[in-house]
Structure 1
Amino acid sequence: MAQKMNTRKPDYSPYVKKFWKYFLMTFGGVLLFFLFASWGLFGSMPSFSELENPESNLATEIISSDGVVIGKFFNENRTPVKYEDLPPHLVKALVATEDERFYEHSGIDGRRTLSASLSLGSRGGASTITQQLAKLLFHGEGSRFLPFRIIQKAKEWIIAIRLERQYTKNEIIAMYFNKVDFINTAVGIRSAAKVYFAKEPKNLTVDESAMLVGMLKNPSLFNPLKREEKVRDRRNVVLKQMEKNHFLTTAQKESFQAKPIKLTFTPEKYNEGTATYFREYLRDYMKSWVKENKKEDGSDYNIYSDGLKIYTTIDSRMQLYAEESVKEHLANLQQEFWSEMKKNKTAPFVNIKQPDIDRIMERSMRNTERWRILSESGKDEEEIKKSFYIKTKMTVFSWKGDKDTLMTPYDSIRYYKHFLQPGMMAMEPQTGDVKVWVGGIDYRYFQYDHVGLGARQVGSTFKPFVYATAIEQLGMSPCDTIIDGPFMIRKGRHNVTEDWEPRNSDHKYRGMVTLKKALALSINTVSAKLIDKTGPDAVIDLVKKLGVNSDIPSQPSIALGAVDMTVKDLVAAFSSFANQGIYLKPQVITKIEDKNGNVIYEPKMESRDVLSKDIAYAVIKLMEGVTESGSGGRLRSQGGGWKYNRVTGYPYVFTNPIAGKTGTTQNQSDGWFVGMVPNLAAGVWVGNEDRSAHFRTLASGQGATMALPIWALFMKKCYNDTSLNVSKESFEKPKDLTIKVDCYTPPSRRANDSISKDSTAVKQEDINNTDEFGL
C-alpha cells in the first residue's frame, strides 16, 4: 500500500511572532533611544530658547568714521552676515557640494543616509547642511568611541529636525555660513571673504565662492596658503558639482576651472593691519568701559564675544596716509641715522659712558618676556643673564622687510634701540574727534604707544603757551616788541636755585624784535623774559586748563620746553587755539552698538572755555609766523636746504595759512612739529626709545628735520584726497578783534622778505640757524 502523502502546511506562526516581537522591541528601543536622547538623558540638549538664540561667539568690530572696519576684538573672528548679503552663486556652490537635496528634506536626507549605511560610508557621508549646523552649534565634532558616536548622531538628527521646524532654509544657510571656520583667523563667511579676498561676501566671484566652499571639507587640508594645488583641485570639484546641478553651463565651468587661485590675504590679527596702536589703546579703553557700563541684566559686556560695534572717530583714509607718511620719511631718516652711527663705538648711544650703557641694557633685559618667563621658571639672575648672550635664530624688523638672522637676545635689544620711533595724532579742533593715531612703526616689534603713553620733553613746542599767557596776563600782542639780549634770572626768584642765564643756540642777539619774530625764530631769551614777567605758575595753570596731565615743575626753565608731554595732550592743547580758545577733550568713540544694532553708549563731549577768541587768534597768528619765516619755513620752501630734503619730497610749497611750531630737545633726543589748519590739527614726535640714543648733529636731529616732513607728507596726501575736505582757508578772525596781529613793514625793509608780508620776515640764514633746544 502506498504511503499516504502528508498534505499539512508548515507552521511559521512562531517565527512570525518572534519577528514581530523583535521588530517591535527594536523599533520601540530605537524610539525610546531617540526619546531619551531628546529628553537629555544622554547629555544636555538645547532648549527651545537656545535654538531661538544659538550661542555665537561674535567678534566686536571697530568701525572708522568713514564706515570701514579697521579691526576687531575676538576669541573667534566671526561677524554675522544676513542671507540677503550672500551672493546666489555662493549658496548654490554650498548646496551643490554639501547637500544636493537640501530644499527637499526636513533636516535628514533618508536616501543619502540609507546609501551611506549600505556602502559603509565609502560613497561619502550623509550629513545634511542642517546636520552639520547642528554639530557646529551644539556638540562639536563628537567622540570616536562607537557608542558615543551613535548617541551623538541621534542628538544631531534631533537637533537638525528642530532647526528645520524653527528656521527657514535661508536662515539655516546663513547660520551655517556664519558658524563655519575657514582657519587663518577667519570664522564665518564674512571674515573669510575679508581675510582671503579683502572684500565683502556679496562681492565674491563664482570661483572665489567655490574655493571657500571647497575648503569646508577639511580647512586644514585645503588651506590656500599652504596647498594651492590641492585647493585648486578641490575648487574645481565644487565647480563640477555646480554644473551637475545646472547652476553653471559647461562653458562657464571650464572658464572658472581655468582660473588660478588669486588671494588678497589680509589676516585680521590684533597686531597687524591698520591703526594697530589705536586699537590697543581702544582695547584698554573698553576694559574700563565694561566695568562702568553693564547690560540690562547687570552682567558685564564681553568685547571678545558679544558682537559689539564700536564706531570710532578715526578716518581710515587719513590713518592710511599718516602711516604711509611715517614709513616714507622714517625709512629714509633711519638710513641717515645708521650712517651717523657707523663711526660711533657706543652706538646707538651718544656721549655716555659704559656703566651708563650697562644700566640701560640691563633695565631693558629685565623688561623682556624672556626675563619674565625664565624668572618664573625658577632660574636665577646669573643664568638668565647668560641666556641673553647665546646666539639664536630670530626674525627682526627692518625697513626693507622682516629679516631672518642669527643673533643674541642682547644684540637684538641693542639693535632695536637704533630705530627712530614716531608718535602722531591728528584731530578736528571743533569736534575733538581724533582722526589719526600712529603710536609706532610696527606693533609686532615695538608695542609701546608713543601717542597716548609716551610722554617726552617737548622743547620749543611749549613756547606758544608762554606767549599765550603773556598776551592774556600782560595784555601784549604779536606786534609788540621786546629786546633780544643777554638776560638772567637771579637765584631765589621763581624758585630758581642758582642764577639762570638762558642763551640762544646760535649765540646771536637780534636786538628789538616783535613777539611774532621771536616765536618764529624760537628765541630763548625772549621766552625767558616773558615767563619772568608772568611767572611759571600762570603758564602752568593755562597748560593744565588745556588738558595737559603731566607734572610740570614751577621753574622758569619750562619756558624753553623742559616739560614732558604726550602727543595726545600736546595736540589737544594746540587745537584749543584753532577752536577759538575752547578746549575739547579728544574723543575716539562716537557710539557703541550691541549685536542687535541697539545704541548702548554715546559719549558726552567734555569742553571748557580757556582763552578768549581774541587771545586764541593772536596765538594762531604768532604760530603762522613760524611757518612763514621761522623754523617751519621749509613747508613753503621752493627748494634748497639740507640734502635730505630732496629724498623725502621737498619742496612742499604749501601756500595756505598754517599755524605750527617745531621743537627740539637737548642733544636732539626729541624732534617735534605740531601744525594746524582751521579744521585739522596734527602733531608729530620722532625720537629713539632711549634719550641717550639720538642724532649727533643738529641738521639731522632737529624737529624741522625729524618730525615736520611727516606732517608735510601727510597733509599733501590729505589735500590730494578732496573727499576729506581738509581746509586751505584762513583761520576765522573774531569780530571786533582788539589785539593787533597784523604788523606793517615799510617797503624799504622788505628786501629780504620772499615769504612773509609783515615785520617777522627774516633771512634764510636765520631760519637755518634756528634751534629748538629745550634747555
Structure 2
Amino acid sequence: MATKKNNSTQVKDIAYYNRKFWKIFLYGTGGVILFFLFASWGLFGSMPSFEELENPESNLATEVISSDGETIGKFYNENRTAIKYSDLPKHLVDALVATEDERFYDHSGIDARGTLRAVTSLGTSGGASTISQQLAKLLFHGEGSRFLPFRMVQKVKEWIIATRLERQYTKQEIIAMYFNKADFVNNAVGIRSAAKVYFGKEPRDLKIEEGAVLVGMLKNPSLFNPIKEKRKELVFKRRNTVLGQMVKNGFLEEAAKESLSKKPLVLDYHPESHNEGIATYFREYLRDFMKTWAKDNPKKDGTEYDIYRDGLKIYTTIDSRMQLYAEEAVDAHLANLQKEFFKQAKTNKNAPFIKLSDAETEKLMDRARKASERWRQMSSQGKSESEILKSFSVKTDMTVFTWKGERDTIMTPNDSIRYYKHFLQTGVMAMEPRTGHVKAWVGGINYKHFQYDHVGQGARQVGSTFKPFVYAAAIEQQGYSPCDSIIDAPYTIPKGRHNVTETWTPRNSNGTYKGMVTLKYALAQSINTVSAKLIDKVGPDAVIDLVKKLGVKSNIPSQPSIALGAVEITVEDMVAAYSTFANQGVYIKPQVITRIEDKNGVILYETVPESHDVLNKDIAYAVIKLLEGVTESGSGGRLRTDGGGFGYEMMTGYPYVLRNPIAGKTGTTQNQSDGWFVGMVPNLATGVWVGNEDRSAHFKSITYGQGAVMALPIWGLFMKKCYADKELNVSKEPFERPANLSIKVDCWKPPVKDTTAVDQEEQNTDEFDF
C-alpha cells in the first residue's frame, strides 16, 4: 500500500512540475514575444518608421568639387560622403565580412550561433553583433548604455532593426551603408573620408593592407588610431589580424598574407578640416555664398538646404592644380620676402609700424585688441574693460604661425598682436577672361591664423595698376593710339577744375622728364605727368564711368588724383576689369560655381554668365598693346630676364625667362604699403596684391617695397608652374588681333629699360607715391 501511495505521489509531483515547467515556458516565451512586440511598437523608446528605414538619417557632408574633378573641401557636421557598393574594392568588403561577421551572407540580421556562443561564454569569446546590428546601432540609437537592463532593451531593438534592415535592403546595400556611416575618428566619418584622410586616395584605390588598417579600426577607432605614434605597433598587429581573418575565411592566400604582414604601416595623412587643405579662403567665401543661396532657393517643402547635412555637391570653376601652384608660389616668395621684413624691423623700435606716434600706435593696438577673440570671449563672460586690458599684458602659452610651421611659445597677447602685424599678406586670383571662370583664389598666407580674405573682401589702394583705365578712356574719347606722342613735362591742374580744391602738380619719381614720348612708352615707364594730362583731357567722371562698367564696385572720388591710383579696389574686381581688355572689350563677371546638385545628382542651380560690352575690340586690343609694353621695356621686364641683381638672391624660382606675349602692370602705393601686379596671357588673367594688414606697416624703402618685387614674383612663379603643367594649356600665343584694326598699335620699341628702375607714381601730395 505504501508503495502504491508513493507511486501515486510521484506521479502527482511529476504532473505538477510538468505543468509548472510548461507554464513557466509559455509565460517566458510569451513574455519574450511581448517584450519584442513592445520594443517593436516603441514602448521602450522610439523605433524607426518604414519611411525612416527607406531614408535613414544621413548627415552627409557637402562636397566642394574643382573643375578637374577633385574634392577640394567639404562643409560638414560629420565629414562623411556616401559612396555606392560598386565603389568599394572587393578586398575591403572581404576584410569587413571576415573580421566583423563571418556568416554575414548566411543570416538574416541575427547570427544565432554567434549569439549562443556569446551567451554561453558570457561574452568572453567575443561579441555577437552582426554587421546589420552594428549598422542598426549606428543609424538609429547610437552607442547605447552599459546599465544591464537598458543594454538588454537596446540589444533587442538592435535585433529588430537589423531584421527590418535585412528585409528592406540587399546585403550589398547594408555593407555600403555600414561603411558610409562608420566613424574612423580624426574628422573621417565614412570609408571615403577615411581613405582620403589616412591614405590620400579614393576607396577603390586602396591596397589590401591599407583596407585592412581601416577595417581593423572598426573594433575601436580611438584605440586603433593609426596617426597616434604610441599606437602604431597596436595598429600594425591589428592590421595583420584582419589579414589573418581573410585567410581563415578563404579571401586571401596564406602566401599573400605573409608578404603583406611584413609591410610597414605607411600613411599619407591628409586632415580634412575647414582650416586645412587647399583653397581655404575660397571655401570660406563659398560658405557665405551658400548661406545666401540656401535662403533664396528653398526645398519643395519650404525648408532651407543645410550645407552641413544634406550632401550637396558644389561644382566650382577652381582648378585644383592651378590653386596648388598659386599657393606654392605665395609660400615660396613670401617666406623669403618675410625674412627681409623681419631683418629691417630689428632696427625699428616701433616695429612693424613706421612713422607712427605713440598715440597713433596705441589707437591701432586698441582697435586690434577689441577685434580679437580674447576680447569677445572675456566680454561675453562679463569681464570689465580694465580686466580685459590687463589680461593682454600677461604672458601665456600660445601657438603662433611661422613660415617654418606652427611654434609653441610664451608671450603676452599684446606682443602676439604686434608679431602678427609684421606678416606680409597677399591676395591672388586667376581667371579665364573669356568665360569668367575663376581658376585660383588665394586670400592670404594661412587661413587658420589670418582669416581675412584679401581677394574678395579686402580693398586696397591700387597705385599704377589704375593707369590703364585712364589710358583706355583717353583712347576711347580722345582718339589716342598707343603710338601717339605726348609731352612728358611738368604739368599743373589748376584749382577749381575737376573738383580740385588746391592746385595739383604731380611729379615724376626721379624729378626728370623725358620730353616727347609715345603713350606706350609712358605707360611702360609709368610716367605720372602723362597720366595727369590724360585724365585732365577726359575728366575723372569719364574714367569712373568706364571703371564702373568694368565691374569695379568701389566708391571712387571724382578727383584727378585717381589717375595715379589713389583708389581702393579688391583683387577680384581688378582681375575682372583687366580681363575685359583680353576679352576684346566684353566684361564677364567672375564666376566660381558652375552648378549645385543634391545628394541624388539632381541639379538645383546652374550659373548663368553675366556679361556686357564695355569697349569695342580695337580699343581693347590697343590697351593690351599698351600693357605689353610694360613687360617689354618697363617694370614688368623682369619677367623676361635670366635673374640676377636687385635683391633677386633672396628669392626663389628665378629666372623666369618668359618669352611669350604678356600684358601686365605693376603698382606700388605711397610709403610702399601696397604692391601689385596684374598680368595676362590670352586665356588667363592673374592679379596679385602684397602688403601688411595695416598700411603703417611696410618696407622702409622702395627697393623691396615696390610691386615689381613684392607681387610680380608670385605671378612669375605661378605662371612658370602653370606652363610646366602641359595639361593646363595655358596660352603662350599672341593676343587675338581684330580684323581691320583701325588704331595704330605697332610702335617703335625703345631699348629695354634697366629693370631695376622704379615705377613713377604719385598721389596728390608732395610725397612720392610709387
Q: Which TM-score band (shorter chain)?
A: over 0.9
8 Å Cα contact 2:484-2:518 kept in structure 1: yes
Could you report, residue by residue, the CA deviation over 1:538-559 in whole angstroms, capped at 9, with x for unpaired residues?
0000000111000100000000
Deviates more, 1:175-184 or 1:216-225: 216-225
Equivalent in the alignment of 1:222: 224
Equivalent in the alignment of 1:416: 420
**Matching residue's letter, 2:557:** P
Please state if 1:770 is matched with 2:759.
Answer: yes
The 5 A counterparts of 1:686-697 are 686-697=690-701
Equivalent in the alignment of 1:178: 180
Equivalent in the alignment of 2:371: 367
Counterpart selection for 1:706 from 710, 715, 724? 710
Equivalent in the alignment of 2:688: 684
Please state if 1:637 is matched with 2:641.
Answer: yes
CA distance in 1: counterparts of 2:470 and 2:348, whole angstroms? 38
CA distance in 2: counterparts of 1:16 and 1:763, whole angstroms? 114
Equivalent in the alignment of 1:734: 738
The 5 A counterparts of 1:130-169 are 130-169=132-171
Q: Name the SS of the counterpart of 2:557 in structure 1.
A: coil
Could you report, residue by residue, the CA deviation over 1:180-222 in whole angstroms, capped at 9, with x for unpaired residues?
0000000000000000000111111111111111111111111
Counterpart selection for 2:293 from 268, 275, 289? 289
Q: Name the SS of the counterpart of 2:665 in structure 1.
A: strand
**Matching residue's letter, 1:192:** A
Equivalent in the alignment of 1:18: 20
Gaps of 5+ in 2: 764-768
**Matching residue's letter, 2:760:** D
8 Å Cα contact 1:702-1:771 kept in structure 2: no
8 Å Cα contact 2:337-2:651 kept in structure 1: no
Please state if 1:619 is matched with 2:623.
Answer: yes
CA distance in 1: counterparts of 2:103 and 2:752, whole angstroms? 83
Equivalent in the alignment of 2:331: 327
The 5 A counterparts of 1:501-650 are 501-644=505-648, 647-650=651-654
CA distance in 1: counterparts of 2:660 and 2:561, whole angstroms? 34
CA distance in 1: counterparts of 2:658 and 2:498, whole angstroms? 41
The 5 A counterparts of 1:265-414 are 265-414=269-418
8 Å Cα contact 2:489-2:515 kept in structure 1: yes
Equivalent in the alignment of 1:671: 675
8 Å Cα contact 1:421-1:686 kept in structure 2: yes
CA distance in 2: counterparts of 1:50 and 1:183, whole angstroms? 26
Shift of 1:437: 0.1
Counterpart selection for 1:493 from 493, 497, 513? 497
Q: Name the SS of the counterpart of 2:635 in structure 1.
A: coil
Counterpart selection for 2:206 from 204, 209, 215? 204
CA distance in 1: counterparts of 2:81 and 2:36, whole angstroms? 35
CA distance in 2: counterparts of 1:542 and 1:472, whole angstroms? 10
TM-score where L is the length of structure 2? 0.97
Report how many aligned residue pairs link the two structures: 759
**Matching residue's letter, 2:728:** L
8 Å Cα contact 1:90-1:210 kept in structure 2: yes
The 5 A counterparts of 1:417-496 are 417-496=421-500
The 5 A counterparts of 1:54-65 are 54-65=56-67
Shift of 1:646: 6.5
- After superposition, the Cα gap between the structure-2 partners of 1:628 and 1:33, relative to the gap in structure 1 and judged at 3 Å, is same
Shift of 1:249: 2.3
Gaps of 5+ in 1: 746-757
Could you report, residue by residue, the CA deviation over 1:109-153 in whole angstroms, capped at 9, with x for unpaired residues?
111111111111111111111000001111111122222222211
Deviates more, 1:243-252 or 1:421-430: 243-252
CA distance in 2: counterparts of 1:382 and 1:343, whole angstroms? 32
8 Å Cα contact 2:98-2:246 kept in structure 1: yes
Shift of 1:238: 1.3
8 Å Cα contact 2:668-2:759 kept in structure 1: no
Equivalent in the alignment of 1:94: 96
**Matching residue's letter, 2:499:** N
Deviates more, 1:148-157 or 1:179-188: 148-157
Please state if 1:103 is matched with 2:123.
Answer: no
Identity of aligned pairs, percent?
A: 72
8 Å Cα contact 2:508-2:761 kept in structure 1: no
Shift of 1:4: 7.7
CA distance in 1: counterparts of 2:61 and 2:761, whole angstroms? 47
Q: Name the SS of the counterpart of 1:623 in structure 2.
A: helix
**Matching residue's letter, 1:72:** K
Equivalent in the alignment of 2:82: 80
CA distance in 2: counterparts of 1:181 and 1:772, whole angstroms? 58
Shift of 1:3: 8.8
8 Å Cα contact 2:633-2:752 kept in structure 1: yes
Shift of 1:643: 2.8
**Matching residue's letter, 1:613:** K
Equivalent in the alignment of 2:54: 52
Shift of 1:560: 0.2
**Matching residue's letter, 1:768:** A
Shift of 1:261: 1.2
8 Å Cα contact 2:507-2:762 kept in structure 1: no
CA distance in 2: counterparts of 1:398 and 1:537, whole angstroms? 45
Shift of 1:645: 5.1
Q: Name the SS of the counterpart of 1:590 in structure 2.
A: strand
Could you report, residue by residue, the CA deviation over 1:458-492 in whole angstroms, capped at 9, with x for unpaired residues?
00000000000000111111011111001111111
CA distance in 2: counterparts of 1:547 and 1:3, whole angstroms? 117
Q: Name the SS of the counterpart of 1:663 in structure 2.
A: strand
Could you report, residue by residue, the CA deviation over 1:497-529 in whole angstroms, capped at 9, with x for unpaired residues?
111110001111000010000000000000000
Shift of 1:81: 1.1
CA distance in 1: counterparts of 2:276 and 2:38, whole angstroms? 49
Shift of 1:649: 2.9
CA distance in 1: counterparts of 2:653 and 2:645, whole angstroms? 12
CA distance in 1: counterparts of 2:562 and 2:454, whole angstroms? 22
Shift of 1:773: 4.4
CA distance in 2: counterparts of 1:76 and 1:536, whole angstroms? 53
8 Å Cα contact 1:58-1:78 kept in structure 2: yes
Could you report, residue by residue, the CA deviation over 1:347-377 in whole angstroms, capped at 9, with x for unpaired residues?
1111221111111111111100000111111
Shift of 1:768: 1.1
8 Å Cα contact 2:482-2:622 kept in structure 1: yes
Please state if 1:41 is matched with 2:30.
Answer: no
Task: Provide the alpha-carbon RMSD of the alignment.
Answer: 1.4
- After superposition, the Cα gap between the structure-2 partners of 1:4 and 1:25, relative to the gap in structure 1 and judged at 3 Å, is closer
Could you report, residue by residue, the CA deviation over 1:223-260 in whole angstroms, capped at 9, with x for unpaired residues?
11221111112112211211211222222222222222
Could you report, residue by residue, the CA deviation over 1:424-460 in whole angstroms, capped at 9, with x for unpaired residues?
0000000000000000011011100000111000000
Equivalent in the alignment of 1:748: none
Deviates more, 1:496-505 or 1:43-52: 43-52
- After superposition, the Cα gap between the structure-2 partners of 1:106 and 1:631, relative to the gap in structure 1 and judged at 3 Å, is same
CA distance in 1: counterparts of 2:198 and 2:557, whole angstroms? 54
Q: Name the SS of the counterpart of 2:185 in structure 1.
A: coil
